[in-house]
Amino acid sequence: MSEGLLRYGCRARAIAQEHSYVKDMWQRLTRPDILIFLQASCLVGGERRRLNWTESEWEEQQRRLTYAREHADFYLDTDSLGIGDVLGLVLEFLQNRGFL
């Protein structure tokens, strides 16, 4: 996703927050103007990333992401969307907020 945004002139960075025990890692690594939170279910996320997570591992990841989710400027459940759809919706949001 961040690569797609870069093509449109956006400064974008993906943060692997779900691996951190530090709830505000996304704020420590970068001070984003906009925080975009892309959500995927355990099943869909596992298929996309070829991960073999158990439900409890996924739930722990979700718990670690609570702070970021609560502070997101834009939240999008991506389960039923392709990458082009996600990029289009994110670009639309950024355009509506005056970032494009």
Residues present in the chain in total: 100
Q: Which domain holds residue 76?
A: 2-96
pLDDT along the chain (100 residues), means of 10: 90 76 83 92 81 86 90 96 96 94
Predicted local confidence at residue 19, as pLDDT: 65
Predicted local confidence at residue 17, as pLDDT: 63
d(C-alpha 67, C-alpha 80), whole Å: 24
* Residue 1 to residues 21, 38, 52, 93, Cα–Cα distance (Å): 24, 9, 22, 14
d(C-alpha 75, C-alpha 90), whole Å: 9
Residues 6+ apart with CB under 8 A from 32: 13, 26
In the chain, the number of structural domains is 1
